[in-house]
Structure 1
Amino acid sequence: MGSRTLKYGLLTVALLMTGVVMASDKTLLDAVRNGELGRVQQLITEGAKLDDRSLDGSSALLLATRENQIEIARALIEAGANVNQKNLIQDSPYLLAGASGRNEILQLALAHGADLKSTNRYGGTALIPACERGHVETVRLLIAAGVDMNHVNRLGWTCLMEAIVLSDGGPAHQQIVSQLIEAGADLNLPDDKGVSPLQHAQERGQTAIAQLLRDAGAH
């Protein structure tokens, strides 16, 4: 048996043990992949299993979120699809919507039981990648929802830290830092090496962000 065949066989066993649907009713998943809203609605009415998953563990709702298929996502969520169901790499519809700036789907997820404490494969909340990627409105939605602004991921970074360390310090990230300041984020939580957000901003020449932090009392 070749290594590729063996690897596939082991993956198949693992997927079956975790409840991933491989060859059962893929009709709903296919309808979502094809962007067929009417077909999705019909299948929901006929009692399709909303949380069946594809080979990588993605539910129909996660597929819809990935492609920003807002109306399909709405139909699935309102029918009871799980907004917190994760695939094999720990993405869920809620987490992916936050990380990708899918704001309409994010709002639906927040209104239908999103787990604000849920974390991705890096140990981060939805707010952390939203800050990193400069999704200004997404950050506003997540702060308003009550996501912990001081959560530290496995890299040792908060959402404020990622808005600095993994950004160019441009206008979008300046707005995000301002939002975090206004909402009461801890401005002095250092990384795992003891370096503060202000120090990172200064080292990277992010003068506008550094000034925002100093004006707010960071050190």
Structure 2
Amino acid sequence: MAFKLHPPRFLSLSTGLRAGLLGALVLPVLLAVASPARADMDLPLESPIVRTMMNQNWDELKRAFLGGTNVNGTDNSKQPLIVLAARNNLIPAIDIMLDQRAKVDQPDPFGNSALLWAADQNNVEIVDRLIKAGANINLQNRQGVTALMRASEKGSVAAVEKLLKAGADVTLNDYTGRDALSWAQAGGNGKIQRLLEKAR
């Protein structure tokens, strides 16, 4: 009776072990190479100028700009310094940056200017400063929203009056077809609605 010889089974096992060992060696190397990039994305380090401004260290902020720090710089999410100041109601920071000729209409990634944020935050003092600095009253963000629309919804009578006096266009529509009066109606302020109706 003849016997048929089969290849030893440990050969495929040995091949599998070699592949496994190779993977075990290569994978950590790949992870080691990739890890720093992931760490940078997960743990962004904010710029010193942003920390200085948010800590309200005005003397240091002035020195930084006089020393060459870009007044039109942005944070790690691409928000301009002047927008950050308006969003956080930092009037001294606005004054310092305007003195350094900051771009008043520099938008954030969504197209919002400092003026639009000042109107959104109901900060009439910043609205007034930005208008006097030459801000574009009718600038629209990526949704077509203007500073007048935001002030109208938020019920800021003083901001609406300033914007109208500066030439804000009451006939502009956002990209859903709503004008400033529609925003005012959503906010429920009757005086603002009357101001806008009169300005038409």
The question of a shared fold, defined as TM-score above 0.5 by the shorter chain, is answered with yes
1:214 equivalent to 2:197? Answer yes
In the alignment, residue 188 of structure 1 is paired with which amino acid? T
Residue 126 of structure 2 is aligned to residue 143 of structure 1: no
What are the Cα deviations for residues 132-176 of structure 1, in whole angstroms up to 9, with x where unaligned?
0011100001011111111111122011111233x2x1xxx1110
- 1:1-219 equivalences under 5 Å are 9-12=36-39, 56=44, 58-165=46-153, 167=154, 169=155, 173-215=156-198, 217-218=199-200
Aligned counterparts of 2:81 and 2:51: Cα–Cα separation in 1: 8
TM-score normalised by the chain length of structure 1: 0.69
Unpaired stretches in structure 2, ≥5 consecutive residues: 1-26
2:130 match: secondary structure: helix
| Contact 2:152-2:184 at 8 Å conserved across structures | yes
In 2, the alpha carbon distance for the partners of 1:144 and 1:7 equals 50
* Mapped contact 2:83–2:117 kept (Cα < 8 A): no
Q: Quick one: distance in 2 between partners of 1:133 and 1:8?
A: 40
Q: Which of the pair has more CA radius of gyration?
A: 2
**TM-score of the aligned structures, taking structure 2 as reference length:** 0.76
Distance 1:7 1:193 in 2: 43
Q: CA RMSD in A?
A: 2.7
Q: How far apart are residue 177 of structure 1 and its match?
A: 0.4
Q: Deviations over 1:34-58 (max 9, x none)?
A: xxxxxxxxxxxxxxxxxxxxx6353
On the 8 A contact 1:62/1:92 being kept in 2, the answer is: no
1:36 corresponds to which residue? none
| Paired-residue identity, % | 27
**SS of alignment partner, residue 146 of structure 1:** coil
Specify which structure has the higher proportion of helix: 2
Deviation at 1:7, TM superposition (A): 8.4
TM-fit CA distance, 1:6: 9.4
Count of matched residue pairs = 172
Q: 1:94 Cα shift?
A: 2.0
